[in-house]
A and B are shown apart, each in its own frame.
Chain A
């Protein structure tokens, strides 16, 4: 048994239908929605604003404080509300990815709060969240060198696939599943975030990079269109 066809019939390098729009949270300084199929994330940005307590301020640059929250009803089995180790880690890696493209030296002593909320989850939630957050930062008018775009690349059995769904993440046949969330900067094509879980020979990693680059370039086009005011459904 090999993974010859994807469970949802997509091509191996095909991203699920993307939804993207900005301005979904009226109160926020910037906000956006980004969805890969059934995985729906929204992000809201508040700031830059003075950071309290004061001793946490960095006189040289602003900081991005990123929170990732999965709503209890976003997954099949209710997720316990409140932060946990997974959500804290994702908030941190997402914040780092975003910080790599924001010109933080322009906002010394301040904080930019980025709230990522997962409304509905079918894998790749951190990637959808990062995409939404990057758009929300740009929507807030925060000076950025470029955008970041994020996608999950996987090795399912022996196939390299783009944008995993839950059933692929949980695939156990053959060589099983390897999940690789990958975030790239839009212009300079650098790696702003990278994680990996699973089993993949070093010799096959080039294919992962290629797939990620191709997908991130596509995703960036959607983010850009949404930022120009288009509502992509």
Chain B
């Protein structure tokens, strides 16, 4: 579906004055809501809403053979799909490029941050390791599904509990859970995506703004020894960024991390305690 040019022009024109259709500042997020317990059958699950955008994320665990080059490490597979419910533009069929990209960018942020202790997911070297399946579904797309997916994946991982594993039979007893959480560290990844419309930069676009964007840049950050570490980056879309724009975005990313991440962290903590 193509956005009528008139709307696109209006968005760009407003942005020139630092304004947005919904009254937000260019670098202002909408409200982020996080819930847990979407499915009792999932090892961990979450729902994230950013404005009217909604994703649900489930974590399932299974025991599999490790990759031959990582015999003592657990594995992870991230998948993402837009449900047909997400909007008029979505049709059934195999995952399209946009969802493949979201899955891969979310995967990289988690994998590279050191958030998961992969070696602790090893049961028997070279034979049995835990595999983490993260399935992300977008139920309603009002823009910025990428950041919502990343937040939801981290939340679901933090909520997850191991299922019972029968060592004798070497089988997972699905549906029976232990009280044990996944081996996670404090290096929690947080992704944010900057969108470029003409020569302006904004964050957390709604669907119309996202359609009007010329390109985007996702940055996954984590904190280590008080320093912000970039764990993943991905430029999407066609229009190039200037070096100055990139430098500005990096400076913004640090501020946005300080502003948003603690709130998300607190919210997830309170849900875990409950």
A residues near B, CB below 8 A?
85-86, 88-89, 92-93, 96, 99-100, 180, 185, 188-203, 205-206, 209, 213
Q: Across the interface, name the chain B residue whose C-beta is closest to A194.
A: B235
CA distance A194 to B239 in the complex (A): 12
Return the contact of B230 from the options A188, A189, A190, A205 (Cβ within 8 A).
A205
Return the contact of B229 from the options A86, A100, A191, A201 (Cβ within 8 A).
A201
Question: Is A202 in contact with B253, judged by CB distance below 8 angstroms?
Answer: yes
- Assign chain B's interface to a size class: 35 or more
CA distance A199 to B247 in the complex (A): 18
CA distance A194 to B234 in the complex (A): 6
Q: Across the interface, name the chain A residue whose C-beta is closest to B101.
A: A89
**A191/B230 contact (C-beta < 8 A), A89-B104, A202-B253, A202-B254 known:** no
Return the contact of A193 from the options B235, B246, B250 (Cβ within 8 A).
B235
Interface string of B222-250 (1 = CB under 8 A from A): 00100111111111111111110011001
CA distance A64 to B11 in the complex (A): 27
Question: Is A199 in contact with B100, judged by CB distance below 8 angstroms?
Answer: no
Question: How many A-B pairs with Cβ below 8 Å?
Answer: 93
Interface string of B36-72 (1 = CB under 8 A from A): 0000000000000000000000000000000000000
Question: Is A100 in contact with B240, judged by CB distance below 8 angstroms?
Answer: yes
Question: Is B230 in contact with A196, judged by CB distance below 8 angstroms?
Answer: yes
Question: Is B108 in contact with A197, judged by CB distance below 8 angstroms?
Answer: yes
Chain B binding surface, main DSSP class: mixed
Question: Is A202 in contact with B240, judged by CB distance below 8 angstroms?
Answer: no
B103 at the interface (CB under 8 A from A): yes
Return the contact of A85 from the options B104, B221, B240, B246 (Cβ within 8 A).
B104
Question: Is B229 in contact with A96, judged by CB distance below 8 angstroms?
Answer: no
Closest beta carbon of chain A to B103's beta carbon, Å: 7
Question: Is B239 in contact with A100, judged by CB distance below 8 angstroms?
Answer: yes
B114 at the interface (CB under 8 A from A): yes
Question: Is B100 in contact with A191, judged by CB distance below 8 angstroms?
Answer: no
Return the contact of B100 from the options A89, A188, A201 (Cβ within 8 A).
A89
**Chain B residues within an 8 Å CB radius of A191:** 235, 240-243, 246
**A209/B229 contact (C-beta < 8 A), A85-B100, A93-B235 known:** no
Question: Is A88 in contact with B100, judged by CB distance below 8 angstroms?
Answer: yes
**Chain A residues within an 8 Å CB radius of B227:** 201-203
**Chain A residues within an 8 Å CB radius of B232:** 195-197
Return the contact of B228 from the options A197, A198, A201 (Cβ within 8 A).
A201
Closest beta carbon of chain A to B111's beta carbon, Å: 8
B32 at the interface (CB under 8 A from A): no
CA distance A209 to B112 in the complex (A): 21
Question: Is B229 in contact with A190, judged by CB distance below 8 angstroms?
Answer: no
- Which 7 pairs from chain A and chain B are nearest by CB? A196-B233, A190-B240, A194-B235, A191-B241, A99-B238, A192-B240, A100-B240
Question: Is A201 in contact with B230, judged by CB distance below 8 angstroms?
Answer: yes
B172 at the interface (CB under 8 A from A): no
Return the contact of A198 from the options B103, B231, B238, B242 (Cβ within 8 A).
B231
**Chain A residues within an 8 Å CB radius of B247:** 205-206, 209
**Chain A residues within an 8 Å CB radius of B103:** 85
CA distance A85 to B96 in the complex (A): 10
Q: Across the interface, name the chain A residue whose C-beta is closest to B78.
A: A85
**Chain A residues within an 8 Å CB radius of B253:** 202
